[in-house]
Structure 1
Amino acid sequence: MAPTRIFAGLFLLLAIYCALDPFEHSAISEFPDFVSHPVEMPPWSLVPTEKDELNSLQKSEIKFLGQIQGPESLTFDPLGRGPYTGIADGRVVFWNGEKFVDFAYTSSNRSAICDPKPSPLGYLKNEHICGRPLGIRFNKKTGDLYIADAYFGLMKVGPEGGVATSIATEAEGVPFRFTNDLDIDQDGNIYFTDSSTKYQRRNFMQLVFSAENTGRVLKYDPITKKASVLMKNLQFPNGVSLSKDGSFFVFCEGSLGVLHRYWLKGEKAGTSEILAVLPGFPDNVRTNKDGDFWVAIHCRRSYYTYLCAKFPTLRTFLLKLPISAKIQFLLHIGGRPHALVAKYSPEGELLQILEDRQGKVLKAVSEVEERDGKLWIGSVLMPFVGVYSLE
């Protein structure tokens, strides 16, 4: 038999296996209605290639190792105390100078299933019960802490902490399904993201693989006490942060790997534009005292990922191979977790890149909070906080 016929036969068998997935070994076997969506990505030539040759993030100090699991977002209260952070078991905790103590809960239905586990991923199964606080911000005028809980929506708790109160769970009749990050303007308006109306956070890998476009950017008005939709049909919108002067906010769109600018004031008010093309998959973004934006990036984008994004049929075929979601995820991030943070000017100019390309110290990063010459680095996947000195 000619080699070409043998190859064609093997390819046909593989195609049939992928179509049927008889042993349910694929990354999407538990999602029968899974659909790969096309991603209109920026041209590959626009993806930044600048690198941190010094791997500067390897010099980060590891703090609170083993005391917290998955500190996604970090913030300090109006008196400068903290950090406060939301962790994998559904609590918001506060560093009192000696140890982390409980500050707030997003679920009023906590039980033993929310007790500490060895890994942040160990909480996924029960996140919808225990809660998962992601983005957190203080209202500097009132001292209230606002929380974007992935399952319970937009919430707030007073300066003394306790059980958080729900303030919004839907907009325009569509419930939030993956509330992700937020920021607050001087008038108390809250701008926040709902990453998907289909997938919950515990299925974030399938959301990444699908690149489905039900994500939204929203605004909560404290006077009307209602949430409205500013933008929709987005592919994994994530971090959001106001500009220093409050004239616009920026937000990340994960599947595209871009930073958007949404105008709040001026002749462009109510419109948006791409501010910057990012080198990889973004998470949260935070504004520093100078008005620049620190973007946390989980990993660099590879050409493999670029091709999968452009060709959804190819992506579906690969996802139906008998390869676990974890291995598929590693393929998309270049084989190993590696942290990267990038600083952008208000005009979208790339000012600085810091990274740990080998993932020796920081394997993942979800947020970067600049404070007093240091970067406080949170990660939804790590059991610690990284602190990097800019001096």
Structure 2
Amino acid sequence: MAMPEMPALTGALSPNKHLQNAKILFKNEIHGPESFVWLNGALYSTVENGFIKIINDKIVKKIQIGKSGCLECGRPLGMRHYKDETFIVADCYNGILTVDFKTGKIETLLPGGTIVDGIKLNFADDLDFIDKDTIIFSDASTTWDLTRFSNAMLELKGDGRVLKFNLKTKEISTLLTNLQFANGIQIHSDKQSVLICETGAARIVRYFFDGPKKGTHEYFVTNLPGLPDNIRASSKGTTYYIAFAIPRVPNHWSFIDSLAPYPFIRKLILQIIPESLGFTFYRATMANYGLFVEADTNGKIIKSWHDPTGFTKMISQVIDADDAIYVGSYAHEHLAKIYKNQL
């Protein structure tokens, strides 16, 4: 699978310092802010070993999954509001969960390892609702788990898929397969299709679950200026924030771009590099640059936010709420807050 030439950073992608100038929250206080939801003046976020609730830029509640230091006890990734202070969560080890911030109770709706169409649920990643009881969620890789994420990106075997699950009846079905690391999930504003980030291919797929195109899919946007993690609708409802875990910056050597056409070399690297060093190697090759974009309903990029210093990079998700845009960063384990009136 060859990658197209990286898009030029011109027009809507022209470099700026909007992300570089953001206010930094919780540096060295939180680990792995992956997905967050704004609700009634509070920001709810997944973190490495559980969940936090933030009000006025202060953490007011923490809920832990499993015991401290136990990564495989649970790693919540995607999160969406369900009802009251209860959220539905995609956990890459435990499956589909609910977390109630009032009681601190966590329940399993669909366990990790459940066999779906002959394949076990291996890497629940992100989700969105198509109605009050039905979600569409991604199973990023049916081969590799989170600790071996870099292996999935090296192999690029197209073992990601998207599933539909009814929270009440527990009915589950496969919608789409053969995806290159199926990641972020966002229902399109047409309410007939879902947008799916293919991290390993720098593109977003649009699958139609209803309407005249039901059961078909097409590309929403290709050749993105980065490998997309999560995607979320803006507060306008008709545009989408796309977060880039790894930017694709022209004139910077890209591991994925360079080796994508050579499966033999990728397989060789997979055999040589110890799994414990896989992500370290991967991270060492990426550009020291932070970037996320906003796209319209047709996938056209209309705006971008940059951090040329690379302090806020490896971006997991972006949302806007009231007067600010919130950005999750793995690079230095923090949230960045961009005030809209300063743009």
TM-score above 0.5, yes or no:
yes
**Compared with structure 1, are the counterparts of its residues 326 and 249 closer, same or farther at alpha carbon in structure 2 (3 Å cutoff)?**
closer
**Aligned partners of 2:306, 2:334: CA distance in 1, in Å?**
17
Q: Supply the distance in 1 between the matched residues of 2:88 and 2:46 (Cα, whole angstroms).
A: 11
Residues 275 and 65 (structure 1), Cα distance of their counterparts in 2 relative to 1, 3 Å cut:
same
1:321 offset after TM fit, Å?
Answer: 6.2
Which ranges in structure 2 are unaligned for 5 or more consecutive residues? none
Q: Confirm or deny: 8 A CA contact 2:226 2:244 kept in the other structure.
A: yes
Matched, 1:357 2:308: yes
Superposition map of 1:23-172 within 5 A: 39=1, 41=3, 43-44=4-5, 47=7, 49-50=9-10, 51-77=13-39, 80-88=40-48, 90-97=49-56, 99-105=58-64, 107=65, 110-111=66-67, 113-114=68-69, 126-129=70-73, 131-139=74-82, 141=83, 143-158=85-100, 160-169=102-111, 170=114, 171-172=116-117
Letter in 2 for 1:293: Y
CA deviation map 1:185-211 (0-9, x unaligned): 333311111111111111112222222
Compute the displacement of 1:318 (Å): 5.0
Segment of structure 1 superposing worse, 222-231 or 273-282: 222-231
Other structure's SS at 1:310 match? coil
- Report which of the two has the higher share of helix: 1
2:202 counterpart of 1:257: yes
Could you tell me which amino acid in structure 2 is paired with residue 251 of structure 1? I
Residues in 2 aligned to 1:382 and 1:303: alpha-carbon distance in whole angstroms: 21
Q: Write the distance in 2 (CA, Å) between the matches of 1:328 and 1:174.
A: 30
Match of 2:316 in 1: 366
- Structure 1, residues 222-250: CA drift from partner, whole Å, max 9, x if none? 34212211111211110011123422221
Larger-Rg structure: 1
Equivalent position of 1:281 in the other structure = 227
Task: Give CA deviations for 1:129-167 in whole Å, capped at 9, x if unaligned.
Answer: 2x111111102x554211111100011123524231111
Q: Is the 8 A contact 1:190 1:220 kept in 2?
A: yes
Give me the TM-score of the superposition, normalised by structure 1: 0.77
Q: Name the amino acid aligned to 2:278.
A: A
Q: What is the CA-CA distance between 1:93 and the residue it aligns to?
A: 1.1
| Post-superposition offset of 1:264 | 2.7
SS of match in other structure, 1:207:
helix
| Offset at residue 103 of structure 1 (A) | 4.8
- Aligned partner (choices 307, 311, 314) of residue 265 of structure 2: 314
Q: Distance in 2 between matches of 1:173 and 1:317?
A: 29
Distance, in Å, in 2 between the alignment partners of 1:383 and 1:159 is 23
Q: SS at 2:218's partner residue? A: strand
Residue-by-residue CA offset, 1:285-318 (whole Å, 9 max, x unaligned)? 0001221010001232355532300111233345
1:368, CA displacement in angstroms?
A: 0.2
- In the alignment, the residues of structure 2 paired with residue 66 and residue 344 of structure 1 have an alpha-carbon distance, to the nearest angstrom, of 31
Q: Secondary structure at the match of 1:58?
A: coil
**Equivalents in 2 of 1:175, 1:364: separation in Å?**
29
Q: Spell out the pairing of 1:146-295 with structure 2 (5 A cutoff).
A: 146-158=88-100, 160-169=102-111, 170=114, 171-277=116-222, 278-290=224-236, 291-295=238-242
Q: TM-score, normalised by structure 2?
A: 0.87
Aligned CA distance change for structure 1 residues 149 and 55 (closer, same or farther; 3 Å)? same
User: Offset of 1:268 from its aligned partner?
Assistant: 0.5
1:99 offset after TM fit, Å? 3.6
What is the deviation of 1:60? 0.7
Letter in 1 for 2:242: V
**Do the aligned partners of residues 159 and 188 (structure 1) sit closer, same or farther apart at CA in structure 2, a change above 3 Å counting?**
farther
CA contact (8 A) 1:276 1:348 kept: yes
Q: For residue 158 of structure 1, what is the amino acid of its counterpart? A: D
Residue 177 of structure 1 contacts residue 198 of structure 1 at CA under 8 Å; is this kept in 2?
A: yes
CA distance 1:269–1:384, shift in 2 (3 Å): same
Distance 1:148-1:382 versus aligned 2 partners, 3 A rule: farther
**Amino acid in the other structure paired with 1:211:** L
Q: One-letter code of the match for 2:117? A: E
Offset of 1:261 from its aligned partner? 1.0
- Alpha-carbon offset, residue 98 of structure 1: 7.0
> Which structure carries more strand by proportion?
2
CA contact (8 A) 2:187 2:193 kept: yes
Give identity over the alignment, percent.
26
SS at match of 2:45: strand
CA distance in 2, matches of 1:327, 1:84: 29
Tell me which moved more, 161-170 or 246-255. Answer: 161-170
